[in-house]
Structure 1
Amino acid sequence: MPRPVVLYVRYVDAFNRFVGRFAMYLFFALGAVLLYSTASRVFLGQPVNWSLEMSQFLLSAYYLLGGAYTMQNDAHVRMDLVYGRMSPRSRAITDAVTILFVIFYLAVLFRGGLSSTEYSITYNQTNYTSWAPPLWPIKVVMTVGIFLMLLQAISQFFKDIAQALGKPIT
């Protein structure tokens, strides 16, 4: 594979590995929010109105920022009734073809994410609850997560092509 492709794969993989490992720690923040909410309600008798939304935001950030890392580790769910019986080269060819659909889907999703984020920032969009948090921070995280997934899908495409040609990128 050409050197720029190899460098792209290495840099995207390294960056998404870093972001994915950071995203793992968001689960601890989620646990802290839920623990605080429960303790506040049970021991103090004062329910916290922001905990449900904050936990939804943290969980969304967790899986959106971790999506590219999951793809990198080949940990997404896959129906392998036929796939599991294929040779590594046939798998790579199949993956190279099917990832093009994923790339198209992520590109459309990213375009929508940009539009939604721009709207949220322009009009200072808030959620329709008593807490009424601004929505732009989670929409920015959503768009960044989708973009990182798109970059990782392109990286996977290059790795699949290299594998199909018998020259895997390590």
Structure 2
Amino acid sequence: MRLLRQIENINIMIGKAISFLIWIGIVVLCWEVIARYVFGAPTIWAHGYTQRIFGAYFVLVGAYTLIRGNHVRVDLLLNTRSPRFTAFLDLINCIFLIIWGSVLIWEGFWFFEDAWRFNELDDSVLRHPMWPIKLSLFLGAVLITVQGVIEAIRALVLLVNPDADIRLAAGAQRSEIL
């Protein structure tokens, strides 16, 4: 369990670091609005950069969102049942997450590799390379899939022993991971 907590702590650190990308995206968007409507001089770069910033943000913050328990869930089934049944449903969800994540890792790697090898450029005037955003897709898939494995192990333990003390992130509760 110690290794799982260490991996989870790494996912938390990455998630907190990546969360600052939202502020960079907001600054770029505000700059574009001011340049366009105050100075009458829209930029040619802001739209592409905000797409990349927000795209990377949403892909890379997925594991942190999973740790915090903030992904969409149907609580009608989860809050009205026993802890063992909840663990069973969590395990099924994690299995689907791991399958989806594994396919996304596989495809995301080749997506990135092709962009790198062929020096793929975007369609904008600035012709930026596409490999950084495609690398973020691959890395985000790795992070959320690894976290899905941790959640599946946690669900298995709780399925066997609903009273087990499975602590998150070195003992923190989900609500404390902010």
TM-score strictly above 0.5: yes
1:21-72 per-residue CA deviation (whole Å, 9 max, x = no partner) reads 1121111100110111112222332211111111111111111111000101
Output aligned runs, 1:5-154, within 5 Å. 6-154=1-149
Structure 1 Cα separation of the partners of residues 103 and 139 of structure 2? 14
Structure 2 Cα separation of the partners of residues 98 and 37 of structure 1? 41
Aligned amino acid, residue 17 of structure 1: I
Matched, 1:169 2:159: no
Shift >4 Å, 4+ stretches: none
Aligned amino acid, residue 168 of structure 1: D
1:59-103 per-residue CA deviation (whole Å, 9 max, x = no partner) reads 111111110001011110012332221111210122112311110
Contact kept, 8 Å, 1:9 with 1:158, in 2: the verdict is no
Aligned length: 165
Structure 1 length normalisation: TM-score? 0.92
Structure 1 Cα separation of the partners of residues 128 and 100 of structure 2? 29
> How far off its partner does 1:7 sit?
2.4
Gaps of 5+ in 1: 1-5
Contact kept, 8 Å, 1:8 with 1:155, in 2: the verdict is no
Aligned amino acid, residue 102 of structure 1: L
Secondary structure, aligned partner of 2:75: coil
| Identical amino acids, percent of aligned pairs | 27
Deviates more, 1:26-35 or 1:93-102: 93-102
Deviates more, 1:73-82 or 1:149-158: 73-82
Structure 2 Cα separation of the partners of residues 115 and 168 of structure 1? 40
Gaps of 5+ in 2: 168-178
Contact kept, 8 Å, 1:159 with 1:168, in 2: the verdict is no
Structure 2 Cα separation of the partners of residues 69 and 128 of structure 1? 32
1:2-36 per-residue CA deviation (whole Å, 9 max, x = no partner) reads xxxx1231012101100111121111100110111
Aligned amino acid, residue 14 of structure 1: N
Aligned amino acid, residue 164 of structure 1: L
Q: CA RMSD in A?
A: 1.2
